[in-house]
Amino acid sequence: MYSIAIHGGAGTILKSQLTADMEKAYSGSLFAALQAGERILKEGGAALDAVTAAVKLLEDDPLFNAGKGSVFTFNEKHEMDASIMNGANRACGAVAGVSNVKNPVLLARMVMEQTEHVLLSGEGAEELAHEKGLVFEPDSYFFSEFRHRQWKQVHQSGTTSLDHLDEKKFGTVGAVALDDQGNLAAATSTGGMTNKKYNRIGDTPLIGSGTYANNETCAVSCTGHGEFFIRQVTAYDISCLMEYRGLSLSEACTLVVKNKLVELGGEGGVIAVDRKGNIEMVFNSEGMYRGRAGSNLPAEVAIYG
């Protein structure tokens, strides 16, 4: 038995704001990432490999605010964050504020598997990537006219924006999975906030806030206004509610996303899978780019609420 879920960000995503062509493009990209992860699970592969493959594909897609599609910072640069966690032994790795690394999720996994550390940042993380031969890309690879136009709009106002200025979208990508061996895994990646200053870091690279996996409970990947997810320790909170209060995955996700986050003023959503293969994709925003599949569940993607 296996299960997998992916997300490509949440927020004010309305059918009236997406053209038919854009909707088709987003759905196609989500489906491709979902299939990449599911293919590994179908063949008896590891949940860790499945979430890595799904997130890597989303990082390579300019439609999403991660990797190639990352938004611009105040200084017109790109600063990317990513994390990954193995539910079997709770090993994890994360990177924050890295530039020019083509796939931050691969670097996060490298931190987990090839160092004694959990979280590396900036130039130090990039140094590791160079040492291990990860692919770097020039600034031009990460440039898109769409993202630059967003940046110019916000830059002139001097404020920080989420992902899309007009649509209020929280741009993050992520995946969670359960494999045939009963192991859970989660991974998350983001380009952060448009026009952000001071090397701001959100919840994505913080284990327990944006990403968490524990074979005894669940695997979680978050997307939303990161500061609130950090304050709520959202991903770990869902696991804790299952472990200590005996809540189901559905009950835990609903309580955290629909109640606890809302009380703080936090907007966004989570994808999660438990050790029985149950999948939840819960959000308190207008929509969330998402998809799910399993050994007993046909692959499907969705965008709106």
Q: Known catalytic residues?
A: 172
C-alpha to C-alpha distance for 48 and 87, rounded to whole angstroms: 9
C-alpha to C-alpha distance for 150 and 166, rounded to whole angstroms: 9
C-alpha to C-alpha distance for 17 and 10, rounded to whole angstroms: 14
- The answer to whether residues 186 and 61 touch, using CB atoms and an 8 Å cutoff, is no
- The answer to whether residues 133 and 123 touch, using CB atoms and an 8 Å cutoff, is no
- Give which of 251, 212, 209, 243 is closest to 226, Cα–Cα: 209
Tokens at 114, concatenated: 């090839």
Tokens at 123, concatenated: 């130039």
- The answer to whether residues 95 and 205 touch, using CB atoms and an 8 Å cutoff, is yes
- The answer to whether residues 62 and 68 touch, using CB atoms and an 8 Å cutoff, is yes
Alpha helices in the chain (DSSP H): 20-42, 47-59, 104-114, 122-131, 145-157, 226-232, 234-245, 249-254, 261-264
Tokens at 239, concatenated: 């696991």
C-alpha to C-alpha distance for 50 and 58, rounded to whole angstroms: 13
